[in-house]
Amino acid sequence: MVIVPKKFSVGFFDCDLYANLRISRLCEFFQETSLAHLRNQGFDYLSMINRDKFTLLISRIKLRISHLPLWGEDIFISTWLKGYNPEKVGWCDYDVRDSQENSIIQATSSWLLIDLKDGKAKPFSEGPYTFQLNPELSVLPEVIDLLEPEGMPKTVLVKDVRYSDIDLNNHVNNCRYSDWVLDAITPEELKERRIRSVQLNYMHQVEYNTKVALMRFPETRHHIVILGVNEEQPEQVHFQARIGFDKPFNQPPLLHC
Q: Say whether both 102 and 197 belong to one domain.
A: no
DSSP conformational letter for 131 = -
Does residue 1 register a pLDDT over 60? no
Q: Rounded to an integer, what distance in angstroms lies between the CA atom of residue 209 and that of residue 161? A: 5
Q: Report whether pLDDT(256) > 50.
A: no
Domain that holds residue 63: 6-126
3, with CB counted inside 10 A (0-12, 13-18, 19+), is: middle
Q: Give whole-number Cα distances, 123 to 28, 138, 185, 247, 254, in Å.
A: 26, 22, 38, 41, 43
Looking at the structure of the chain, the number of domains it has is 2
Confidence of residue 254 (pLDDT cuts 50, 70, 90): very low
Pair (97, 169) in one structural domain: no
Instruction: Give the distance, in angstroms, between the CA of residue 144 and the centroid of all CA atoms in the same chain.
Output: 12
Q: Is residue 102 part of a domain?
A: yes
Shared domain for 66 and 173, answered yes or no, is no
39 lies in some domain:
yes
Q: pLDDT digit string (tens) for 71-89?
A: 999 999 999 999 998 789 9
Q: Is residue 112 located within the same domain as residue 22?
A: yes
Asked whether the predicted pLDDT for residue 230 surpasses 50, the reply is yes
3-state secondary structure of 22: coil
When comparing pLDDT for 121 and 249, which is higher?
121
pLDDT band at 248 (very low <50, low <70, confident <90, very high): low
> What's the pLDDT tens digit per position in 185-214?
999 888 888 999 999 999 999 999 999 999
Shared-domain flag, residues 29 and 105: yes
Does 64 reside within a domain?
Answer: yes
**Band of residue 257 on the pLDDT scale cut at 50, 70, 90:** very low
Give the model's confidence band at 237: pLDDT under 50 very low, under 70 low, under 90 confident, else very high.
very high
Q: What percent of the chain has pLDDT over 70?
A: 95
* Amino acid, single-letter form, for residue 115: D
pTM of the full predicted structure?
0.91
Task: Verify that 192 and 97 share a domain, yes or no.
Answer: no
CA pair distance 177, 22, nearest whole angstrom: 12
| pLDDT confidence band for 169 (50 / 70 / 90) | confident
Tell whether 166 is covered by a domain. Answer: yes
What share of the chain in percent tops pLDDT 90? 82
Q: What is the structure's pLDDT at 2?
A: 67
Residues 82 and 190 in one domain: no
> What are the backbone dihedrals phi and psi of residue 64, each rounded to the nearest 5 degrees, phi first?
-120, 125
* pLDDT higher than 70, residue 216: yes
Question: Which of 106, 126, 146 is the last residue in one of the domains?
Answer: 126
229 inside domain: yes
| Residue 168 placed within a domain | yes
Give me the pLDDT at residue 159, please: 95
Residue pair 225/242 in contact (Cβ under 8 Å)? The answer is: yes
Q: Are 165 and 176 in contact (CB under 8 A)?
A: yes
Predicted confidence (pLDDT) per residue in 97-117, tens digit: 999 999 999 999 999 999 999
Instruction: Please tell me whether residues 44 and 118 are part of one structural domain.
Output: yes
Neighbours of 181 (CB within 10 A): 26
Same domain assignment for residues 161 and 91:
no
- Non-local CB neighbours of 136 within 8 Å, separated by 6+ positions: none
Q: Considering the domain boundaries, does residue 37 fall inside one? A: yes
pLDDT of 29? 98
Same domain, 114 and 192: no
For residues 68 and 104, state if they share a domain.
yes
Contact assessment for residue 85 and residue 133, using Cβ atoms and an 8 Å cutoff = no
pLDDT on residue 64? 98
CATH number for position 234: 3.10.129.10
The verdict on 110 and 210 lying in the same domain is no
| Spatial separation of the C-alpha atoms in residues 72 and 206, rounded to whole Å | 34
Q: Which of 178, 227, 246 has the alpha carbon at shortest distance from 25? A: 178
